[in-house]
A and B are shown apart, each in its own frame.
Chain A
Amino acid sequence: NAGVTQTPKFRVLKTGQSMTLLCAQDMNHEYMYWYRQDPGMGLRLIHYSVGEGTTAKGEVPDGYNVSRLKKQNFLLGLESAAPSQTSVYFCASVAGDETQYFGPGTRLLVL
């Protein structure tokens, strides 16, 4: 039981490049979330999903897209990376009692 895993752990992009972050959970949770964490700003919700095939916008969705083709996977895409997207990205899945389980994070640097 690995819980929530994230791939990759660290990535450097040039402005304008694209990439996809993968989140996987093996707890059969319906709800999954993508957050970004920036110094002094706490965690902010980017997008979320309430089940396979569904996605919705969070607080800061601009510049990101998501997909939930399989229940266990939640993908976050950056179509054209910008320096403002330099951040640490966390994925979380939610248990039935509403406890959120977080992955270890992906550190992204956009030059």
Chain B
Amino acid sequence: KQEVTQIPAALSVPEGENLVLNCSFTDSAIYNLQWFRQDPGKGLTSLLLIQSSQREQTSGRLNASLDKSSGRSTLYIAASQPGDSATYLCAVNDYKLSFGAGTTVTVRA
């Protein structure tokens, strides 16, 4: 069974600092990995999807990398802003999505 872990569970940084969020998974036979953002009381919003053949994916200030062999993905958010405060979840697709529990980020103004 695929196990997805996100460490740390919570993170607080000052505005302007770069964010580094980690996701690890146990079975490297995946189709893709997706990063989501969830605001309190809201649904999930897809941020980036990385196919298994890709090493990274970028969108604006967000960059996600994937290392299948080591079972790791990292989401980088450059120059963080208070509006980036949310919970970030990664999900691994190996015929179904398995989610991590998320990292809750607080960006202090």
Interface residues of A (CB under 8 A from B): 4, 33, 40-45, 48, 58-59, 90, 92, 97-105
Instruction: For the complex formed, measure the closest distance between the CB of B101 and the CB atoms of chain A, giving whole angstroms.
Output: 4
Interface residues of B in 17-34 (CB under 8 A from A): 31-32, 34
- Residue from the list A42, A44, A90, A99 in contact with B43, Cβ < 8 A: A90
**B101 contacts across to A, CB distance below 8 A:** 40-42
B12 at the A interface (CB under 8 A): no
- Residue from the list B4, B31, B46, B102 in contact with A100, Cβ < 8 A: B46
Instruction: For the complex formed, measure the closest distance between the CB of A24 and the CB atoms of chain B, giving whole angstroms.
Output: 14
In the complex, A62→B41 CA distance in Å? 25
Known interface pairs A42-B101, A42-B102; A105-B43 also in contact (CB < 8 Å)? yes
Instruction: For the complex formed, measure the closest distance between the CB of A9 and the CB atoms of chain B, giving whole angstroms.
Output: 10
In the complex, A44→B97 CA distance in Å? 9
CB closest chain-A residue, reference B45: A102
Interface size class of B (residues with CB under 8 A): 20 to 34
CB closest chain-B residue, reference A9: B41
Contact B31 A98, beta carbon cutoff 8 Å: yes
B86 at the A interface (CB under 8 A): no
Query: Can you pick out 16 interface pairs between chain A and chain B where the beta carbons lie within 8 Å of each other?
Result: A40-B101, A42-B4, A42-B89, A43-B91, A44-B99, A45-B96, A48-B96, A90-B43, A97-B49, A98-B32, A98-B34, A100-B46, A102-B44, A102-B45, A103-B43, A104-B43
Instruction: For the complex formed, measure the closest distance between the CB of A7 and the CB atoms of chain B, giving whole angstroms.
Output: 14
In the complex, A4→B44 CA distance in Å? 11
Closest 10 CB pairs of A and B: A102-B43, A42-B99, A102-B44, A43-B99, A42-B101, A104-B43, A99-B46, A105-B43, A99-B49, A103-B43
In the complex, A99→B41 CA distance in Å? 21
Instruction: For the complex formed, measure the closest distance between the CB of B49 and the CB atoms of chain A, giving whole angstroms.
Output: 5
CB closest chain-B residue, reference A33: B97
Contact A90 B44, beta carbon cutoff 8 Å: yes
